[in-house]
Amino acid sequence: MTFKFSIIIAIYNTEDYLEEAIDSVINQSFDFSDIELILVDDGSTDNSKDICLKYQNLYPDNVKYVYQENQGQAVARNNGLALAEGKYINFLDSDDKFSKETFENVFNFFEDNYDEVDIVSVPLMFFDRQKGEHTLNYKYESTRVVDLSVDFDHIQLSASSAFIKRDSIGSLNLDSNLLQSEDAVFLNKILLKKMKLGVVRDAAYFYRKRFTANSTIDSAVKDKRYYFPRFDRYFKELINYSLNKCGYVPKFIQFTLMYDLQWMFRIDEVDDVLSSEEINCLYENVYDVLQYIDDEIIQSQRNIDESIKRSVFIFKNKDLKYDTSEGVARVWAGNRNIDQLNYHKIYLDSVELKNGVLTILGFFKSFFRDEDVQIDAIKICNGNESNFTAKFVSYPFRDRKIMGKLFESSYNFEINIPLEKEENSQIKIRVKYKDVEVYLELISQRFVNISKNSNYFKKENYIVKFEDNSFKVENYSFSKLLKLERETIKKLESLNDNNLKEIIKLRKSYLKRFLFNKNKKIWLFMDRQDFADDNGEVLYKYALNQNDNIKKYFVISKDSKDYPRIKNMKNVIEFGSKKHKLLYLFADKIISSHPDESVLNPFWEDKGYDYIKGLITSEKYFLQHGVASMDISSWLHRFDKHLSLLVASSKYEYDSFFKYHYNFSKEVVQLTGLPRYDALENKEDNKQIVIMPSWRRILNGMSLKEFKFSNYYKTFNSLLSNEKFINLAKEKNYDIIFKPHLNVLKYLETFNFDDYVKIDKDLRYRDIFNESSLLITDYSSVIFDFAYLKKPIIHYHFDDENYHFDLEDSYFDYYTMGFGKVVSQEEDLVDEIQRVLLNDCKMDEAYKKRVDDFFEFNDRNNCKRVYDFILND
């Protein structure tokens, strides 16, 4: 044979990575003259062809270049394979690379074990967006020949991280009808001949997880071909091939199929890819394949959690059986006990006391049928027992769905327990399944104001204690509270934990000031720790003018850029200061434009938070950060946001809070308008075009390098360098202001747009709304502030698929309710900007009518409505 190795690289538009891949072959410790490099260009439209030709000119004896019309990776690899002359074959992906010593070590191993193995595998390591090792790298404990009939979990799926003896391939080709898994079919048909695999430890294949997340694997689950014909041509093909060759399906083939099948069990919905008929066919295919996979193989999967394994057993057996014999409630899938009621725990979401009613929210998950489960609060008072049956509340985000099928239900419940004036009772939570009753362990979640470490709170005229897995309610007296608090402090001191020293001091300060403060009304206002200038600040200024004997404070960090502006307002206190923390323990009401505990709670980041939370009994009033234009109930919901007020500005928004799964009551949701709208006014037009895009959760945690690969960065870097746009603004004498989202600030240095663009970090939002001429944004709620002033807006929807809320399920339709034109392409955006500028930045009459229809109030009394509600609540 002419070459020792033939390395086949299928290439499609990978100009950013291709040279690195090729160089990793050329720069091996193994002599490159013994390596054949076959570059198959699968119809690339970028600079990949020129790169390939450059290397062919540099190494005419080693490098072959082949061009084909775009037909996919498998066809490209097969065409490369037909040209290969090397003794050992590898399929290197065009964005990956090898470690320097890989070829040398693989060749030596192959030569030493030539008759025993047909495939040699090397460890697979991730780089770029994802770091670390592949989950199957456990098989590289040592360099050796693996007997797959014994070590059946030492499977090989990737042709890129494998080297194949050319003589063992014969007439085999990679299946071009498969979107994925063509490697696994190809390799495992070869492995079935000898059931041996060579593994070389001192080598590495580096697999690039792209920052842009646009590789075939990343996007596959949204392609119908991931499901069909993949079942027939991969899963069933390997099963039938095994049966024909061996008369049975070897365990390593079973393990291979189950390893790949598990990824489908991690997909919650498929109805956006498959029709209902195709979904039913998918279920049948999964069932058929699982009949050839032993329970032992399912249970032995190393990287599948028990919940997924239970779901696999359900699919394998179709029908569940329910059993309550021997006083134990069980769920069976075939002969396997997959669930048992007494194994569960109840996770508490909230323990609230208001107007003499103790309300407990919580949940547990199980495979039991919903209609057969009942949750009760059992109250024992003066020897009498009362039952209060829970109301189940729908919150589908906690349910476990697999391929659109509900498996593990989440029993979200609410129990309301009225209390007597002279209450002295014990309350237990009982779960009942048919005739089986259990008292499951109660676990307080972090955001619940009571726990085993801070196990009581005083509210209204009651003390509620959490002990013995139950709640004990007593009528309040200071002597009882004093005793409880002294016991708690003594217990904390006995722990001798330095992290609790400040907590102990605060609890002692709380106790000293309790009688002095217990009858005072204390309200804390804020927006964010680091920013003001939102609904919180506007309402606070209104509140200061109300004579109602309430102590009011505004909370903000001294490091905030807004602090110098507002520090001279009355009662401004520093977030996280000792004064703030003490006031937080006595406050009746926390009033803010943000509802998250991580924003509001000065103890949230403290290691000792769990030891003080019972002293926090304030009500939370959420003024909103903007109009909720879509379903955000996956974030804003009653189970971890314990609100006494949620404001709405429109009848459409108000109705949406009951249409979706927020689960707040009508007493909480109030149609008032946003306080900050009272401060909006059409000031002199400063001829400003302001660009204010919202954030994308997919960008969270990205490095600067990763961010530069994102579509978000490329979109706005391009727009703000667009020559036509810049010249148009200059010609019409408009400034261009880019107001980045707070999360973009740390990435600003990556942008390199035109010098004419002004980057704004300091302008107040209100000033931008009042003084600007045109707003360009995507889904940001700032559209409502701008529309309130009836100024023109353009909705730039450049990446609907990456936005983290479901636009299709939104009540707010940007095309029929939006306040400006919707565009998705930069060219169309610039054309619309030109049209608006030629119209002197006046909002079209059609959009003005939409503004009038949307907003419930335009009377500058939003602060009054909000404040009156809070005052009377």
Q: Give which of 164, 24, 36 is closest to 88, Cα–Cα.
A: 164
Q: What is the dihedral of CA 582, 588, 592, 594, to 10 degrees?
A: 80
Last residue of a domain, one of 639, 661, 677: 677
CA distances (Å), origin 162, targets 98, 155, 873: 11, 11, 68
What is the average per-residue pLDDT within 710-714? 91
Structural domain for 846, as ranges: 680-854
| H-helix or E-strand spanning residue 362 | strand 357-366
DSSP annotation of 326 reads G
Beta bridge partners of 347: 363, 443
pLDDT the model gives residue 211: 66
Name, in order, each residue with C-beta under 8 angstroms of 85's C-beta and a sequence gap of 6 or more.
1, 2, 3, 6, 36
pLDDT the model gives residue 216: 46
CB-side exposure of 561: number of CA atoms within 13 Å? 6
The CATH number linked to 798 is 3.40.50.12580
∠742-745-747 over CA atoms, to 5°?
130
pLDDT the model gives residue 1: 55
Name, in order, each residue with C-beta under 8 angstroms of 667's C-beta and a sequence gap of 6 or more.
none
What are residue 470's phi and psi, to 5 degrees? Answer: -150, 175
∠82-83-84 over CA atoms, to 5°?
100
Are 267 and 221 in contact by the 8 Å Cβ rule? The answer is yes
Q: What tokens were used for 522?
A: 């204390």
- Identify whether residues 623 and 711 lie together within a single domain: no
- Identify whether residues 670 and 590 lie together within a single domain: yes
pLDDT the model gives residue 219: 65
Q: Could you identify the residue written with the tokens 């309610």?
A: 473
The CATH number linked to 627 is 3.40.50
CB atoms near residue 281 (< 10 Å):
15
Is residue 191 in some structural domain? yes
Is residue 489 in some structural domain? no
Residue 146 in this model has a pLDDT that exceeds 70: yes
- Looking at 88-97, 292-301, 313-322, 713-722, which range is the least confident one? 313-322
What are the tens digits of pLDDT across the range 598-627? Answer: 999 999 999 999 999 999 999 999 999 999
pLDDT the model gives residue 808: 78
Last residue of a domain, one of 661, 677, 693: 677
Residue 306 in this model has a pLDDT that exceeds 60: yes
d(CA 786, CA 680): 9
What are the tens digits of pLDDT across the range 544-581? Answer: 999 999 999 999 999 999 999 999 999 999 999 999 99
> What does pTM read for this prediction?
0.85
CA distances (Å), origin 602, targets 580, 582, 610, 616: 8, 10, 13, 11
Q: 215 falls in which pLDDT band (50, 70, 90)?
A: very low
| H-helix or E-strand spanning residue 468 | none
Are 201 and 142 in contact by the 8 Å Cβ rule? The answer is yes
In 3-state terms, what secondary structure has residue 681? coil
In 3-state terms, what secondary structure has residue 117? coil
pLDDT the model gives residue 403: 92
**Cα torsion 303, 305, 310, 314: sign:** negative
Is residue 239 in some structural domain? no
Residue 218 in this model has a pLDDT that exceeds 80: no
Is residue 170 in some structural domain? yes
Residue 31 in this model has a pLDDT that exceeds 80: yes
Q: Give which of 352, 364, 351, 418 is closest to 392, Cα–Cα.
A: 364
Is residue 603 in some structural domain? yes
Q: 179 falls in which pLDDT band (50, 70, 90)?
A: confident
Is residue 326 in some structural domain? no
What is the average per-residue pLDDT within 745-763? 89
pLDDT the model gives residue 742: 86
Residue 543 in this model has a pLDDT that exceeds 90: yes
pLDDT the model gives residue 300: 96
pLDDT the model gives residue 319: 82
Residue 518 in this model has a pLDDT that exceeds 90: no
- Identify whether residues 467 and 552 lie together within a single domain: no
Buried b (16+ CB within 10 A) or exposed e, 435-465: ebebebebebeebbbbbebbbbbbeeebbbb
- Identify whether residues 313 and 405 lie together within a single domain: no
What is the average per-residue pLDDT within 147-168? 98
CA distances (Å), origin 46, targets 13, 42, 43, 57, 351: 5, 11, 9, 19, 59
What are the tens digits of pLDDT across the range 106-118? Answer: 999 999 999 999 9
The CATH number linked to 444 is 2.60.40
- Identify whether residues 694 and 819 lie together within a single domain: yes
Q: What tokens were used for 398?
A: 């906690």
On the question of a cis peptide bond just before residue 123, with omega within 30 degrees of 0, the verdict is no
Beta bridge partners of 855: 650
More confident residue, 801 or 432: 432
Q: What is the 3-state secondary structure (H, E, C) of 134-164?
A: CHHHHHCCCCEEEECCCCCCCCCCCCCCEEE
Q: Give which of 135, 139, 133 is closest to 200, Cα–Cα.
A: 139
pLDDT the model gives residue 212: 59
pLDDT the model gives residue 762: 74
Is residue 629 in some structural domain? yes
What letter represents residue 539's amino acid? L
Task: Enumerate long-range contacts of 112-116, CB under 8 Å, 24 or more apart.
Answer: 113/145, 113/198, 114/165, 116/145, 116/194, 116/196, 116/198
Residue 747 in this model has a pLDDT that exceeds 60: yes
- Identify whether residues 463 and 507 lie together within a single domain: no
In 3-state terms, what secondary structure has residue 275? coil
For residue 386, count CB atoms less than 10 angstroms from its CB and return exposed for 0-12, middle for 13-18, buried for 19 or more: middle
d(CA 465, CA 473): 6
d(CA 451, CA 111): 65
- Identify whether residues 299 and 400 lie together within a single domain: no
- Identify whether residues 192 and 287 lie together within a single domain: no
Is residue 421 in some structural domain? yes
d(CA 521, CA 591): 13
Residue 705 in this model has a pLDDT that exceeds 90: no
For the chain, the average pLDDT equals: 94
Q: How many domains does the chain have?
A: 5
- Looking at 147-156, 179-188, 763-772, which range is the least confident one? 763-772
Q: 701 falls in which pLDDT band (50, 70, 90)?
A: confident
- Identify whether residues 795 and 659 lie together within a single domain: no
In 3-state terms, what secondary structure has residue 715? helix
Last residue of a domain, one of 301, 317, 333: 317
d(CA 86, CA 64): 13
DSSP annotation of 489 reads H
What is the average per-residue pLDDT within 60-66? 96
Q: 25 falls in which pLDDT band (50, 70, 90)?
A: very high
| H-helix or E-strand spanning residue 803 | none
| Sheet strands side by side (includes 35-41) | 63-67, 35-41, 3-11, 86-91, 162-165, 119-121, 196-199, 144-147
- Identify whether residues 408 and 465 lie together within a single domain: yes
Are 188 and 174 in contact by the 8 Å Cβ rule? The answer is no
Name, in order, each residue with C-beta under 8 angstroms of 60's C-beta and a sequence gap of 6 or more.
none
Calculate what percentage of the chain has a pLDDT beyond 90. 86
d(CA 495, CA 493): 5
**Alpha-carbon Rg of the chain, whole angstroms?**
32
pLDDT the model gives residue 214: 47
Q: 407 falls in which pLDDT band (50, 70, 90)?
A: confident
Pairing of strands 3-11, 35-41: parallel
- Identify whether residues 444 and 519 lie together within a single domain: no
**Cα torsion 18, 20, 21, 27: sign:** positive
- Identify whether residues 655 and 692 lie together within a single domain: no
